[in-house]
Chains A and B, each alone.
Chain A
Amino acid sequence: MIQVTVNGAEQRYDRPLAVSDLIARMALAGKKIAVERNGEIVPRSVHGSTMVLDGDRLEIVAAVGGG
């Protein structure tokens, strides 16, 4: 069991998973998003090979209206 924080909310998973799997579970696959893991950008090209580990803090963002 791992516990991670995604956009400020606690999430639990049975085992470590790839960033791309986490994105799919959050119904964000195919969306125009960007991911930061523990303060560092996770480029889209390595979403499949970057593992989310216990205690990680993720930010998943999109573009919204703003000035």
Chain B
Amino acid sequence: MAIAGMRADDGLIVAGKRYASRLLVGTGKYKDFAETRAAIEASGAEIVTVAIRRTNIGQTKGEPSLLEFLPPSKFTYLPNTAGCYNAQDAIRTLRLARELLDGHDLVKLEVLGDPHTLYPNMPETLEAARQLVKEGFKVMVYCSDDPIQAKMLEDSGCVAVMPLASLIGSGMGILNPWNLQLVIERVQVPVLVDAGVGTASDASIAMELGCDGVLMNTAIAAARDPVMMARAMKKAVEAGREAFLAGRMPKKLYSAAPSSPTTGTIAPSQPKAA
């Protein structure tokens, strides 16, 4: 007879595929590919984001490639559209990604609004999402934490919505847990916090709120010890998920119910004679 608490987390299901890890990580901003790989292995992540960029023409002989350090046979690549500021550029980038990765169709759509905040441009994001879904892509979409927009993205056929916790690369943590909760309640597809996580507790809070996963890059890559932070994030996501599944106790300002028995205490001392 299994104890209820022995139930294991059943993993993250995106576009019909199950992943044991609910932590997704980026591959940017590391010192070198060796550090990238060590950090990603420590994180336990199975889905890793990559960017699509112009090759250096004529001077790339012998240069190592990311794909050699993170073999696509071992990791699920999630090509992104970072740096795209309109729907058309994002669509073209992901068509190139699909060609590059031999028909791989799970993608991360992000259409940015401006280069200072990297806040998403939602009208362009929605337009791109609709077209990409039409072309057969499985779209995980970076978005604002607006529950109405999130629902529109779900209705457009996106396989996951990924609201920001705070701005990309800011490390400011979960600025609006209330909106995240509204998004989680509103949509059926997985909700992953993408952007803004700064440290392990931020990842735990996201998971405790009921998020299905967390995607991060800078929080790990910009830590003093990226590999150790990757390990911390793995535990934080697992801890937050288990706390969510376990169901936290209600918050009370104070409690008249101490944890130790209220009976059987030893005889009260005699008051001291005056």
Inter-chain contact B99/A28, CB cutoff 8 Å = no
Number of residues on chain A facing chain B (CB within 8 A): 26
A63 CA to B52 CA, complexed, in Å = 5
Q: A12-51 CB contact bits vs B (8 Å, 1 = yes)? A: 0000000000000011100111111001010110000000
Q: Which A residues are CB-close (under 8 A) to B74? A: none
A33 CA to B101 CA, complexed, in Å = 9
Inter-chain contact A32/B100, CB cutoff 8 Å = yes
A62's contact among B49, B53, B61, by CB below 8 Å, is which? Answer: B53
List the A residue with the shortest CB-CB distance to B61.
Answer: A27
A66's contact among B51, B55, B99, by CB below 8 Å, is which? Answer: B51
A43's contact among B26, B99, B216, B218, by CB below 8 Å, is which? Answer: B99
Measured CB to CB, the closest approach of chain A to B47, in angstroms, equals 12
- Contact residue range for chain B? 35 or more
A31 CA to B79 CA, complexed, in Å = 17
Q: Which A residues are CB-close (under 8 A) to B95? A: 36, 41
A32's contact among B51, B67, B80, B168, by CB below 8 Å, is which? Answer: B67
Q: Is B58's CB within 8 Å of the partner chain A? A: yes
A52 CA to B216 CA, complexed, in Å = 40
Q: Is A6's CB within 8 Å of the partner chain B? A: yes
Q: Is A64's CB within 8 Å of the partner chain B? A: yes
Inter-chain contact A63/B36, CB cutoff 8 Å = no
Measured CB to CB, the closest approach of chain B to A46, in angstroms, equals 11
Inter-chain contact A36/B96, CB cutoff 8 Å = yes
Measured CB to CB, the closest approach of chain A to B239, in angstroms, equals 23
A66 CA to B118 CA, complexed, in Å = 14
Inter-chain contact A41/B96, CB cutoff 8 Å = yes
A63 and B99 contact, Cβ closer than 8 Å, known pairs A7-B55, A27-B60: no
A64 CA to B57 CA, complexed, in Å = 15
Chain A residues with a Cβ under 8 A of chain B: 6-9, 26-28, 31-36, 39, 41, 43-44, 59-67
Q: Which 8 A-B pairs have the closest CB atoms?
A: A66-B51, A67-B26, A67-B217, A34-B100, A34-B99, A65-B27, A7-B54, A65-B28
